[in-house]
A and B are shown apart, each in its own frame.
Chain A
Amino acid sequence: MGHRKRGHTHAPKPPPSLDTHSSNSLRLSDHEQGLKHRICMVSDFFYPNMGGVESHIYQLSQCLIEKGHKVVIATHAYGDRRGIRYLINGLKVYYLPLQVMYNQSTATTCFHSLPLLRCVFVRERISIVHAHSSFSAMAHDALFHAKTMGLNTVFTDHSLFGFADLSSVLTNKLLTVSLCDTNHIVCVSYTSKENTVLRAALDPEIVSVIPNAVDPTDFTPDPCRRDNNKITIVVISRLVYRKGIDLLSGIIPELCAKHPDLCFLIGGEGPKRIILEEVREKYQLHDRVRLLGALDHKDVRDVLVQGHIFLNTSLTEAFCMAIVEGASCGLQVVSTRVGGIPEVLPDELVTLCEPSVHSICDGLETVIARIRTGNVASPANIHRKVRTLYTWRNVAERTEKVYNRVCREPVLPLSARLHRLRSHCGAVAGSIFSFVAVINFIFLLFLQWLRPDHLIDVAIDSSGPQSRMGQHLSKKKSKAPNPAVS
């Protein structure tokens, strides 16, 4: 019953075979270019919070809008920022008043966000809900409610997880429950796909690998900005254990002793900053090691272009955006060989080392020797190579294919969903979440009685094929700043 109510809205969702904008599109064809979706991106992490997931959601949404889809973003309220905001190109963002618990993630009871999210989904006539990041409770909530409401779901995972300790075991179980009836999952690297498939016991056929991308116009090289009398190594990351700052504290004294013209530029903030300051103090390297503190995203490029080498010492990464940004600015990249990093850059653009002080020092020595002899590609060449590797338009195109596939799939009705939960997620967790799913369904019926779908005002589209704003924009097709189309 919950799935069929949509017929009462003003503009019913067209069935996939009859598209109002391209009546010649083939039914069930592989290239359904005319089919435009109405997508809701849900995550706890969005602007004004800065980070990889946030910029991923934003850039992907912008590229999808450019392709003609309707995209709406739902996130939690950040301080005073609550309600609806419109970003460039009519990207509508709902800042929902949900309580934030820890590290920008909301609390979840599996029920209390249903009325708000239902309003968003019904008002915007959403057909696909795309949730981001396993750390986000709101994303999992949205997936849960979307399935109860009969909408197709896609989930993107951005991080790697362990298996061994208690918190990992519980989190992986919750992920299994969340993903057991999700239509499609997207991971950012092959290692991440293997990790997610093992964590959530998924069928690997429903997991796609779509890497992240970087906007190369934001990260252009500028060799004039760097001091050619010295060799500068740039490190930009959060200063936490996971990013290998302990290794950095071993590398700095060793290399500074061997190379008098070497200096380090370290941007970022975190609890391990004290270790770097101690090392600097002990070896009296105040003029050669600069700690810049927390950097705004717009300042990152200015710091990167001052360096010759970009060093990444992470102990685990699903897809390291930082090294692509460093390479895009024309720096030589040295990184640890962990997680998905070996898949990201070709061998001529990156030097990979084992995660130990000795190995990273060897790698850095090799690169320093190459720089001294001038045996390195120019920053402009490196930028040219990297520019074509990862683009947001390519990511959007591949994601669009995921949506095309997903919208053809049926959403499991309640009985099938309960069966899947109990059979796939184990006896205890499956039964608990079946119960929660049933309560969720009853709550949805209650809400539909209280405020029926046909009485909810349909929002005016600000993006997508029926958008009012789009009519002005399509007239002046703005020149794309990113000429690298793939």
Chain B
Amino acid sequence: MGADSGPGAPAPVPWRKVLYERQPFPDNYVDRRFLEELRRNIRVRQYRYWAVVRETGLIAQQVSCVALFLTLWSCMERGALVPSAVLWVCLACALLGYGLYEILGGSCVRERTRLADLQSATIFLAFTFGFSPVLKTLTESVSTDTVYAMSAVMLLAHLVSFPYAQPSPPGSLSLNAALFGSVCLASRLPGALHTFTMLSCALLVFALWPCLLHRMREKAEWSFPWAAVLVCLAGVGGLGSLWPEGALLLALALLTLTLVCPLLLVHLQRHKDNIHGPWDEAEIREDLSRFLN
């Protein structure tokens, strides 16, 4: 038994995959059972193109949400929109959305009472209204370019870190990035009421809308593509009123995202080569936190 592969006669005993016995084979012997437990691609999902396109609707609509938010901000900054009007529209949308959420989630057990919801809404509105003069002067000493750059980075971070797999509740990093970006932008507006309005809109768009969308997907599957398309069109249209070239770019980006990227994903699946075997680290398939809770 050694590291020579000399031409010996094949031993009558079969080779066994054990180390505790001295076997009459050289150490570098390669049995025909070598790599017999190798498995390739056992957990590969088969993607279908249109199903993937449907899923990318979520990403596209989130990008359009950001575009819509920026349009709103730009309109308020130019003075094309009056803050009180926007505020009333926001309130109406919020109530409508809440009603829709309740109707769709009729059979679900409520985690929070309506009173608790009302309380958190009141607290938020009160504090934001009270602090809006402070927030307005937040970036007074910062140059405009820096503010725009910071907001752009924050909104990009929001898009990148958004939990597309589980959008409700929205992830902490993405929500915080979005709100920080909106605070930076809101502080550039002419008045304290503008700031308050902007922040309420930001909350609606970035915190509450994903929850409603997720509920719509769960309960009324057919409505999700329509909602996504509507938001995308609104985003492109809104941007078009400001900056037509930008709207064209956005439309192009959305089309690439929704149509070309799924094609790539489905096409590249053929190159997948996952190797599985006894050397893999075992996965713990149970929830062990039950022993600690």
Q: Which residues of A contact B (CB under 8 A)?
A: 30, 160-164, 184, 189-192, 194-195, 197-198, 204-211, 242, 244, 246-247, 249-250, 253, 275, 278-279, 282, 315-316, 319, 336, 338-340, 342-346, 355-357, 389-390, 397-398, 401-402, 404-405, 486
Contacts and interface: CB of A to CB of B under 8 A. Distances in A.
Contacts of B17: 190, 342-343
Interface string B1-36: 111111000000000011110100011101000110
Given A184-B3, A402-B3, A205 B30 contact: yes
A285 B118 CA distance: 45
Given A282-B292, A344-B20, A405-B4, A194 B35 contact: yes
B80 interface: no
Contact of B282 (A184, A208, A211, A336): A336
A198 B38 contact: yes
Sorted nearest first, the 9 A-B pairs with minimum C-beta distance are A401-B2, A208-B27, A355-B282, A195-B279, A316-B281, A402-B3, A315-B282, A208-B28, A211-B19
B282 A160 contact: no
B3 A401 contact: yes
B277 A194 contact: yes
Contact of B288 (A250, A315, A339): A250
Nearest to B18: A343
B283 to A, nearest CB: 8
A198 B286 CA distance: 30
15 contacts: A184-B3, A190-B17, A194-B34, A195-B279, A247-B284, A250-B291, A278-B292, A282-B292, A336-B282, A338-B282, A390-B19, A398-B1, A401-B2, A402-B2, A405-B3
Contacts of A209: 19, 27-28
B106 interface: no
Contacts of B1: 398
B141 interface: no
Contacts of A340: 19
Nearest to A197: B35
B275 interface: yes
Given A30-B4, A198-B38, A206-B28, A246 B288 contact: yes
Given A198-B277, A208-B28, A397-B2, 15 more contacts: A184-B3, A190-B17, A198-B38, A209-B28, A246-B284, A279-B291, A315-B281, A315-B282, A315-B284, A319-B19, A342-B17, A343-B19, A346-B18, A356-B285, A398-B27
A249 B2 contact: no
Nearest to A388: B20
A191 B27 contact: no
Contacts, number: 124
B30 A345 contact: no
Interface of B: 1-6, 17-20, 22, 26-28, 30, 34-35, 37-38, 274-275, 277-286, 288, 291-292
A338 B281 CA distance: 8
A389 B279 contact: no
A253 B34 CA distance: 41
A324 B9 CA distance: 33
A194 B28 contact: no
Contacts of B26: 208
A163 B274 contact: yes
A310 to B, nearest CB: 17
A356 B280 CA distance: 15
Given A190-B17, A194-B34, A195-B277, A249 B291 contact: yes
Residue of A190, A355, A390 with most partner-chain B CB within 10 A: A190
B289 to A, nearest CB: 9
Contacts of A204: 28, 30, 34
Nearest to A194: B35
Contacts of B279: 160-162, 191-192, 194-195, 316, 339
Contacts of B286: 250, 356-357
